[in-house]
Structure 1
Amino acid sequence: MSREKEIIDDKKYNKLIVVLSVLIPIVVAILFGVKIPNVEPLTFLPPIYASINGVTALVLMFAVFQIKKGNRATHEKLMKFAIMLSVSFLAMYVAYHMTSDSTKFGGEGAIKYIYYFILLTHILLSIIVIPFVLITYVRAITNNIEKHKKIAKITFPLWLYVAITGVIVYIMISPYY
C-alpha cells in the first residue's frame, strides 16, 4: 500500500478510544485489588517492568529523532514497539500486584515528599496519557498527519514523563522490597 494513501476519517475510532481510555484504568484498579491466593509472589517483576519503562523512554526519544530525520517507516515501527512495551509493562505490573503485597516507601523527611510527588504525578499522567496515545496512533494510521503531529507534541512529553518517572519510582522504592 502506498505511503501517500488517502486520509481516512478517524472519527470511527472515537468510541473505541473512549471505551479503552475509561476501561483500562478501571480494570487495572480492580485487578490491583485482586489477590490470587496460593500463588508464588512474582517478586522478580519490578526490575523487569522498570527496565521496560526505561527502554520505552529510549524508544520514544529515538522514534522522535527518526521522524525528524524524515525516516517515517522506522518511526512507525518504533512507535508500535513503544506501545507494545507499555502494554507489556502494564501486564507485568498488574500480575505483580495480584500476587504480591504493595511495597511501602520507607524514606523519611523531604525524600518522602519527593517520592510521593513523583509517584502521584506518574500515576495520574499514566491514566491521562492513554487517550493521547490512542488518538495519536489513530491519527497516524488514518494518515491524518497534520492532526497527528499536533497531538504528538502533547503526547510525547507526557508519555516520556510517565516512562522516566516509572524508572525513578522503582529506583526510589527498590531498597524497601
Structure 2
Amino acid sequence: MLERATRTIKTAGLLLAAYFVLNIVLRIVLPHSLELDEAEQSFFSQYLLAGYGPQPPFYNWMQYAVVSVTGISIGALIVPKNILLFLSYLFYGLAGRRVLKDEALAAVGMLALITLPQVSYMAQQDLTHTTALLFASSLFLYGFFRTLDRPDVASYLLLGLATGIGLISKYNFALMPVVASIAILPDAEWRRRALD
C-alpha cells in the first residue's frame, strides 16, 4: 500500500487529503474548547486590520473572510487551517517534482512532512501564522523552481504572488527570496533568470 501511495504526487495527495479531512472531522467531534491560537483567531476574525499585534495580517485576513461568510464556529476556525496545511504539502511535493527526476521521491518527500511535529501535530494545535508561512514557503519553492525551469509570465506571476503572500504571512519570510536569489547566482543559466 505504501508503494502505491508514493508512486505519484496525485496518489500521495489523495492520501493527504483523506488525512486532513479526518483531522477536521476529529476536531469537530471533540470537545469544543478552543486552543490558544483558535481563541485568538475567533477574536481577531471580527476585525479587518493592517496587522495583528506582532504578526502580519495574511492568516487573519483569510480567517476574517471565512468567518464573514460562514459565521464563527469550530469548523470556520479548523477548515481553513487544514486547507492551508494540505496546500503546503501539495506545493512542497510539486516543487520536489520539479527538482527530482523520480516522481515517487517527490511523493515520499511530500508525505515525509507528516513526520515533522511542527508541521503536522503542532500546526494542528496552534501555530496559525507559521501555517501561513509554511504555505507561502511551499508555494514560493514551487513558483521558484517552475520559473527556473520554464520562465513564462504565469511562472513569474506565481512567484510574485507567493512572495507577496509570504511577506504578509510572517516577517522572516523576507529572507527566502533573497537567499534563493543568491543561491542561483553561481549557475550561469540560472543567473540569467535572476537578471531576467
Q: TM-score band (shorter)?
A: under 0.3
Per the normalisation by structure 2, the TM-score is: 0.25
Per the normalisation by structure 1, the TM-score is: 0.27
Larger relative contact order (CA 8 Å, sep ≥ 6): 1
